[in-house]
């Protein structure tokens, strides 16, 4: 009942409640991005959603225009503190997770939830193993079990298995714990970088 009904209602309510703050932050961040590295404000990328459907995910752009997309050998995104592709404001947005704010649009459109597995790159669908595929049973989230508890400190394989576990164990109380833990993780900046 929670997964199929109440979770979506809570998502909509949270978007409505946070939207005024989102608009103000969006205006402020947009100006900073333009001043730092003139170009597009938003980063758009195709991601895998619920039932393996592809959707366009939005974020504030944190990299310089035209920066190459780098992946680690396990398919995870390259992410280091000294990454020269990231703009000055981009580093701040990543450390505070403010770059994720535009995903409120995805939540409103029903493509994402506040809490759920992190959406993978569209091209990664064929790389999933049988015990990982359950991840796509639920809407991906702005935050989730893996991001809250492990962030970038575990392998891509472990992330997928955790996401599949979450998809099979969704509950209101688990989502609440994840949200509280996410706040702690963001404030403490734990596990921010994949590549040290």
Domain boundaries, the chain: 2-188
Q: 173 to each of 112, 140, 182, how far by Cα in Å?
A: 19, 18, 14
Q: Is 172 exposed, middle or buried (0-12, 13-18, 19+ CB in 10 A)?
A: middle
Look at residue 1 in the predicted model and tell me its pLDDT.
85
Which tokens go with 81?
């503190």
pLDDT 10s digits, 98-108:
999 999 999 99
Q: Which of 109, 98, 91, 99 is nearest to 55 (CA)?
A: 109
Residue ranges of E strands in the chain: 42-48, 54-60, 113-115, 141-143
Q: What is the structure's pLDDT at 194?
A: 55
Mean pLDDT of the chain: 89
Is-contact 138 167, C-beta < 8 A? Answer: yes
pTM (2 decimals)? 0.86
* Residue 105 confidence (pLDDT): 94
Strand, helix or coil for residue 19: helix
Which whole number is the average pLDDT over 124-153?
93
- Token reading at 88: 């000055």
DSSP classification of residue 55: E
């Amino acid at each position: 009942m929670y997964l199929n009904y109440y979770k979506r209602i809570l998502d909509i309510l949270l978007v409505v409640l946070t939207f005024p703050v989102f608009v103000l932050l969006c205006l402020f961040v947009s100006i900073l991005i333009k001043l730092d590295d003139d170009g597009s404000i938003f980063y758009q990328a195709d991601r895998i959603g619920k039932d393996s459907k592809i959707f366009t995910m939005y974020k504030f752009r944190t990299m310089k225009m035209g920066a190459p997309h780098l992946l680690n050998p396990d398919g995870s995104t390259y992410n280091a503190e000294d990454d020269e592709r990231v703009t000055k404001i981009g580093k701040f947005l990543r450390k505070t997770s403010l770059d994720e704010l535009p995903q409120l649009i995805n939540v409103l459109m029903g493509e994402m939830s506040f809490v759920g597995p992190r959406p993978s790159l569209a091209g990664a669908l064929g790389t999933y193993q049988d015990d990982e595929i359950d991840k796509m049973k639920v809407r991906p989230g702005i935050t989730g079990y893996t991001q809250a508890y492990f962030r970038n400190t575990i392998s891509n394989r472990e992330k997928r298995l955790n996401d599949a576990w979450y998809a099979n164990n969704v509950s209101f109380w688990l989502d609440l714990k994840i949200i509280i833990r996410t706040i702690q993780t963001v404030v403490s900046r734990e596990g921010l970088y994949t590549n040290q």
